[in-house]
Structure 1
């Protein structure tokens, strides 16, 4: 291939797809599209490694639509599996956009909603199913999905599927679809578990890697703040939202509890609409919040990692990691929500003393040291409560002991005290008393003997 960037015309796609590509505003294929589309069109199994925001969804959707071409029969010809409903919905959006000029029937299946409507869509006839693993298996067991005509299977975000423990479900699905098929697997990172899945799932795959595994996009400026406690995190967040030119931002937290607390703090203190999404929120609430965020009606979205994938919003100016993710690859996915489609973005991470350990591992993963910024002088930095300091110390001990079983920990007394043996202690006391009694008895006998001698004289 020449150094000149090819156009989509070079892939010999049909007129309907080329018109949809133009209508969507795609000007030239991205690197992952340049490499993956020709291989997929040629019928190869493909292993694609690329970070989020690089156009990998279109890299498999376009050749799939070219292969299926038009509606035929009642049963699916292709299956796309995604780890989360948000990502499944995002894939559906791209698929429908690219298939606009065709009569292809695309159905998206996911949990959180009753299956009745989804079953009705399947029974009306379907060509391509986009689904989470759990909902697909549920409807298959109900006898609503027939798999014998599936000729293409695609796994998106395979690394996240491994992290979420979906391997058994994937194996179950592989057992009920035809062995003779084309397979495509896409992932932002290439861990040992993904490599094992690829060896089971793909046959003589063509590997496409546009950047080294777990590389962050060059369009994202990354910075970190070392923050002593959670109260300072809250104060720093409030100050940055005043200082930074934040048009649209996502604030990621590690837990639902933190998400709700951050939301409660922000909703009455910052300009613009604020929403929160996490696993405890109803499906409709989450969908509405994401749609409003995409449309620009919501300025700030507070979210757990449930939203770190499947959120394709072009103009997200900032991603703020209020908490450092414990699954290190999730850092790549989180910050991949900004800097998309060649727009510039900024990723800011707050790192407390215990999280410093995790963030160092993240820097090793992404092969770069993230620049550190000083906390602005106007930010109130309260003293860390004793209980919070103890919690950080215990967590660090746990992490260090996990890496080094011989590590004794901050709470370990170097002169290790043995627990007293009560039986031995009692014996010692008795022996001591016995010695005292024996000595006293000896002294009495000596005095008695001496007295008798004197009396005899």
Structure 2
């Protein structure tokens, strides 16, 4: 099975980066995500979760910029995780197309507020910094289409867990995706707050 029914820019990037066929996880996850369902996507390291995130975001955003408010929000644990994910995205992004921004604690809040205000399509953030921006009313979530947790085990921590649950309170309609190596009882609790009617796939 090859990749199909994707935006031509994604197909071109997959070919350029030598992705010949989807992994078993991607075969299961991508159709569900494309269909709009909330999803717990559980797979071991190397199963293709990060690429599944990138394909899903690029497809949902039609590989083009639009408006000023973020349309995809991805939470990661650390600055290094944010920068690594941005680098992975950039292999799929043509110059002057999708706008992508990372927010983490080492930057100044005023700088981040200004740069997000001037227009970003994808926002990759650590929970602590995202929470500060949120509490300062510095995030316009009205256009958000995807709310994603990458390597979501960090979300089990008490402070992070509360912050992650708080953000959806200001989101009208959105698709929620959680990617992790294991689905703990604590992560499963997101079903009670924002992961309504979520499907679950597990691939080793």
1:83 aligned to which of 74, 77, 88: 77
Q: Is the 8 A contact 2:67 2:119 kept in 1?
A: yes
The CA distance in 1 between the partners of 2:95 and 2:16, in whole Å, is 11
Map of 2:48 onto structure 1: 55
State whether structure 2 residue 15 is matched by structure 1 residue 22. yes
> Are 2:135 and 1:141 equivalent residues in the alignment?
yes
From the superposition, tell whether residues 102 and 204 of structure 1 become closer, same or farther in structure 2 (CA, over 3 Å).
farther
What CA deviation, in whole Å up to 9, does each residue of 1:386-422 have, x standing for no partner? Answer: xxxxxxxxxxxxxxxxxxxxxxxxxxxxxxxxxxxxx
Q: 1:43 maps to what in 2?
A: 36
Aligned length: 203
Identify the match of residue 3 of structure 2 among 5, 8, 27: 8
Q: How does 1:139-288 map to 2 (within 5 A)?
A: 139-163=133-157, 165-178=159-172, 180-211=173-204
Q: Which segments of structure 1 move beyond 6 Å, counting only runs of 4 or more? A: none
| Distance verdict in 2 for CA 1:57–1:164, change over 3 Å | farther
Shift of 1:158: 2.0
Unaligned runs of 5+ in 2: none
Residue 107 of structure 1: how far off its partner (Å): 1.0
Q: Is the 8 A contact 2:76 2:124 kept in 1?
A: yes
The answer to whether the 8 A contact 1:17-1:98 is kept is yes
1:107–1:118: 8 Å Cα contact kept in structure 2?
A: no
2:91 corresponds to = 97
- Report deviation, 1:102: 6.8
SS of equivalent to 1:153: strand
Q: Secondary structure at the match of 1:107?
A: strand
Between the aligned partners of 1:193 and 1:144, the Cα distance in structure 2 is 29
**Whole-Å Cα distance in 2 between the matches of residues 23 and 166 of structure 1?**
37
Q: How far is 1:40 from its partner?
A: 0.6
Of structures 1 and 2, the one scoring higher in RCO (CA 8 A, sep 6+) is 2
Q: Aligned partners of 2:96 and 2:20: how far apart in 1?
A: 21
Going from structure 1 to structure 2, the CA distance change for 1:90 and 1:157 (only over 3 Å counts) comes to: same
Runs of 5+ consecutive residues of structure 1 not aligned to the other structure: 1-5, 212-457
| TM-score of the two chains, using structure 2 as the length reference | 0.91
**1:203, distance to aligned residue in structure 2 (A):** 1.9
Q: With structure 1 as the length reference, what TM-score do the two structures score?
A: 0.42
Give the structure with higher Rg (CA). Answer: 1
